[in-house]
Amino acid sequence: MEKLTFEFFGGAPVNATRAPALVGVVGSGNLEVLIEPAELGGACAVEILTAARGFGATWKAVLDDFFTRHKLADVRIAINDVGATPAVVALRLDQAVEDFLGGGA
Amino acid sequence: MSSYYEASARERLHALFDRGSFHEFLPPSERVVSPHLVQLDTPAAFDDGVIVGRATLDGRPVLVAAQEGGFMGGAVGEVHGAKLVGLLERARDEKPAAVLLLVESGGVRLHEANAGLIGVSEIMRAVLALRSEGVPVVVLDGGQFGCFGGMGIVARLCDAIVMSEEGRLGLSGPEVIETTCGVEEFDSRDRALVWRTVGGKHRYLLGEADAIVADDISAFRAAAIHLLDTKPDLSLEALTAEHERLGARIEKFGALRDALDIWSALGVEKPENLPLLEADAFRAAVDGKRA
C-alpha cells in the first residue's frame, strides 16, 4: 500500500456543520471517498491509501483537475483505493462533493 | 422500480426505510477500521463493510444492519462482527419492533480468521438471545454476493428470510463446493445450476425463505413491513417440530440429485419453467406445493 497526501489552497470554506458523506466501495477497481468539514486553516486536504504503488503523479493530476472544478476549503477528503482508474476516481470525487454539498443520501 | 441487487448497502438502507429516518451508529467518519487489514497491507473500509443504525419502517422503530458485498465479499472481520453484535445487544435494551439484517456476505473474513470466526459465533448467540426476548430478527437477501458460510447459518437462526430470485443462500458457496469436491460434483460457472440450487426460488420452495419478491427495493420493503409482527418462537415444541420437518425433508428428497427433481417431487407442473417466471407468477405456480 502507499499513502499519499495533498493540500490545496484558495478555495471557499464550507459550512462546518455539514454532515460527512461517503461514496463508493473499497472493491477491486473502485474506491471509497469520505468527505467532511475540518478546521484546516483554509486548506482542502486529501489523504489517500492506495493498493497500487507508484501512481503519485497521476493522483496529483486527477486532484488538480478536481480542485479546479470544486474549490473547497476547510474540507478533509479521505480515500481508500483498490486500483481505480483516473476516470473512476474523478467521478467518485464529483459524486462525493454532490452528496456532501447537496446533503443527499 | 429500483434494483436491490444493483444497489450498494448504503443505497439499500436509504431507499428501504422511511425517508430520512436512518441514523447510523459508528459512521465512516469515526474511522473504526479493521486493525488486521492494515497489518496485511490491504486497504480497509471506513465502515468495515457493514453499516449499522436505527430507522423507522412504516413508522415503527427498527434497528438495522446492511453488509456491503463489494468490500471483501461482505465477509465478517473483527470490527464488522462487533458492529453486528453491538446492534443486536442494543436491541435487547431498546426492544425495537424488529431488527432487520440486509445480509450480503461470503461468511468469515479469512484475513482475520479467528477473530472473524469468534465474531460470527457471537452474532449467532446474540440473535438467539434477542429472539428469546421476543424481538424478531428478519433477514433480507438479494445482493450480488448472496449469503454464505457463517452468515448463512446466522440467516437461518433468524425468524424470517425475504429473498429475491437473485438472492442466494447456503453454507458452502458454489466455488467452494467445486474446489473441494470437483467440477463433476458442482460446476460453479453453470449459472442456471447455481441459481436453481442456492437461489431464492429453491429456498422458498424448500421453506427456508419465507417470502420471495421481485428484485426491487420497494418489494423488499413491503415484505419486511409484512413480517414486522412475526413472533419469535424458540420453545422446545417449535424446535422439535422444525427438526422433524427437516428430518422428513431429507428422507423425502435426500436421494435426489438436482433441484428440478425436488420441484417435481413437490408436485410442481413443468418444473423446468420455474426459473423463467417472475416473482408473482412463480408464487402462484407453487402455491400450496412448498416443502
Compute the average pLDDT of residues A71-85: 97
CA–CA separation, B35 and A53 (whole Å): 21
AA identity, residue B120: V
Task: Examine residue B2 and state whether it is found in any structural domain, yes or no.
Answer: no
Interchain proximity A105–B14, CB inside 8 Å: yes
- At position B237, the amino acid (one-letter code) is E
Domain contains B236: yes
In whole angstroms, what is the distance from residue A11 CA to residue A64 CA?
13
Sheet order of strands, A31-37 included = A2-9, A43-50, A75-81, A31-37, A21-24
Residue recorded with cell 482542502? A44
B63, HSE (Cβ side, Cα atoms, 13 Å) = 22
3-state secondary structure of B199: strand
Are B141 and B167 a contacting pair, CB within 8 Å?
A: yes
Radius of gyration of chain A (CA): 13
> Where in the sequence is the domain holding A80, given as residue range(s)?
2-102
As for how many domains chain A has, the answer is 1
Report yes or no: B144 and B122 within 8 Å, Cβ to Cβ: no
Q: In whole angstroms, what is the distance from residue B111 CA to residue B71 CA?
A: 13
Per-residue pLDDT of chain B (291 residues; tens, 9 = 90+): 799 999 999 999 999 999 999 999 999 999 999 999 999 999 999 999 999 999 999 999 999 999 999 999 999 999 999 999 999 999 999 999 999 999 999 999 999 989 999 999 999 999 999 999 999 999 999 999 999 999 999 999 999 999 999 999 999 999 999 999 999 999 999 999 999 999 999 999 999 999 999 999 999 999 999 999 999 999 999 999 999 999 999 999 999 999 999 999 999 999 999 999 999 999 999 999 999
Phi first, then psi, for residue B101 (nearest 5°) are -110, 110
Q: Is residue B103 part of a domain?
A: yes
Rg (CA), chain B: 19
Local confidence band at A65 (pLDDT 50, 70, 90 cut-offs): very high
Domain assignment present for residue B41? The answer is: yes
**Structure letter (DSSP) for residue B73:** G
State which residues form the domain around B270: 9-285
Q: Which of residues 9-28 of B touch A (CB under 8 A)?
A: 10-11, 14, 22, 27-28
Among left, alpha and beta (phi > 0; psi -120 to 50; other), residue A20 is beta
User: Which chain A residues are Cβ-neighbours of B55 within 8 angstroms?
Assistant: none
B218 touches chain A (CB under 8 A): no
Per DSSP (E only), the strands in B181-253 are: 211-213
Q: Read off the CATH number of the domain in which B62 is found.
A: 3.90.226.10
Answer yes or no: are the C-beta atoms of B62 and B17 closer than 8 Å.
yes
CA distance to partner chain A, nearest, from residue B253 (Å)? 39
pLDDT value of residue B167: 97
Q: Does some domain include residue B290?
A: no
State the pLDDT at residue A105: 42
Q: Looking at the 3D structure of chain B, how many domains does it have?
A: 1
**Residue B227: per-residue pLDDT:** 98
* B133-168 CB burial, b ≥16 within 10 A, e <16: eebbbbbbbbbbbbbbbbbbbbbebbbbbbbbbbbb
DSSP code of residue A79? E
Residue B219 located in a structural domain:
yes
The verdict on a CB contact (< 8 Å) between B43 and A51 is: yes
Q: Please tell me the predicted confidence (pLDDT) of residue A104.
A: 46
- B51 with B26: CB under 8 angstroms? no
Cβ distance B121 to B78 under 8 Å? no
- Amino acid code (one letter) for A51: A
Collect all residues of chain A within an 8 Å Cβ-Cβ radius of residue B68: 25
Is a pLDDT exceeding 90 seen at residue A103? no
